Structure 1
Amino acid sequence: MEQDKALRDQLTKLMQGGQAFRPLDDVLQGITADDAGKEMHGLPYTIWQLTEHLRITLYDILEFSRDPDHVSPEWPEEYWPRESAPADQAALDKSIQAISEGLEAMVQRVQDPANDLYEAFAHGSGQNLLREAMLVAEHNAYHLGEIVVLRRLLGTWK
């Protein structure tokens, strides 16, 4: 039982960041809608597109892990927004808030000992909660790193 709690705690730390990569809130804090939509020469995405991609993907992973009837978006077109900029600051803030809430929901699933980390989902092809939690951590770390690079190029990273 002690090992189970230790694993759940480590998964939570991994998903929340702050060890090998900056936490989500640190990276997304203070981004303006104007900066989120700026295109950088040689890069195929904006901060807005990365933020929305994080939101959409996290929602998909979370729903897949808790709803056997969930239907994933079509890859890749439905995992990325078509527009390069948010409509306004409220749209950006809403996306960032949804990411934070989705991450917290995933953390709660992992922390709940009633959710077996190792049992394969009946509706999947061998996936389990452990795999999905690690996928969230890996995916977030990758794209948060890209956002940090974009913020550095824009001069908005501390």
Structure 2
Amino acid sequence: MNELQRTLIANGVGAPPAHVLEAVDGHLAHRRIPGAPHSIYEEVWHLAFWMELSLDWIAGKPTPYPEHASEGFPASTTPASTSEEWPRLKNRFLRGLQTAAAIAGSPEQLAQPVQCLSQGTEVSRVMPVRDQIEGIAAHNAYHLGRIILLQQLIGVWPPPSGGDTW
């Protein structure tokens, strides 16, 4: 496993994402914390959304860039009755990480160019796949840190499999 793969799915920059989410049930995922703009559910939905967008581009699917930032979070903040079920969302996110990690393990694929659609009339960007995978890793690290902070505020950190407590 190389360092980029470790950052995506293991302990490259903190607790593995699967550990971060392992003890989060549907109730906890939807719990609102005073002063926090998003629930754990919304943070994971956001991560899955943007990762899938990048993975679509890498796969050659011309998925449009969202017109508004609000499209990168779930439309409804109401719990499970109107949104994707938490276990399904969590699994979708973790499967996407496995896909990204598999790509990160292929030097040939990392070197391939990928067209990334831009917002509105901006010109699409072309970059190596590595740049998109590194972007996924950085974005995930940021939002997983937010998720850990929410868990700390609720009093459910560290998870059963362990995680840094500092």
TM-score (norm 2): 0.80
Structure 2 counterpart of 1:5: none
Where do 1:69-148 residues align within 5 Å? 69-87=62-80, 91-115=85-109, 117-122=110-115, 124-148=124-148
The sequence identity of aligned pairs, in percent, is 23
The answer on 1:41 being equivalent to 2:34 is: yes
Find runs of 4+ consecutive structure 1 residues off by over 6 angstroms: none
Which whole-Å deviations, capped at 9, do the CAs of 1:52-104 have from their partners, x for residues lacking one?
10111111111111124222333312110122354169710101100111111
Secondary structure of the 2:85 match is: helix
What amino acid does structure 1 have at the position aligned with 2:64?
A: V
Provide the rounded CA distance (Å) in 1 between the counterparts of 2:92 and 2:104.
18
Q: Report how many residues are paired.
A: 150
Provide the rounded CA distance (Å) in 2 between the counterparts of 1:42 and 1:136.
26
After TM superposition, give the deviation of residue 122 of structure 1 in Å. 4.8
Change (3 A) 1:122 1:37: closer
Change (3 A) 1:59 1:87: same
Structure 2 counterpart of 1:4: none
TM-score (norm 1): 0.83
Please list every run of 5 or more consecutive structure 2 residues that lacks an aligned counterpart in the other structure. Answer: 117-123, 159-166
What amino acid does structure 2 have at the position aligned with 1:148?
A: I
Task: Say whether the 8 Å CA contact 2:17–2:144 is kept in structure 1.
Answer: yes
Between Structure 1 and Structure 2, which shows a larger proportion of helix residues? 1
CA RMSD of aligned residues (A): 2.2
Provide the rounded CA distance (Å) in 1 between the counterparts of 2:108 and 2:3.
17
Structure 2 residue aligned with 1:20, among 2, 6, 13?
A: 13
Change (3 A) 1:132 1:78: same
Which whole-Å deviations, capped at 9, do the CAs of 1:102-132 have from their partners, x for residues lacking one?
11111222223441x2343256513221101
Please list every run of 5 or more consecutive structure 1 residues that lacks an aligned counterpart in the other structure. Answer: 1-7
Worse-superposed segment, 103-112 or 120-129: 120-129
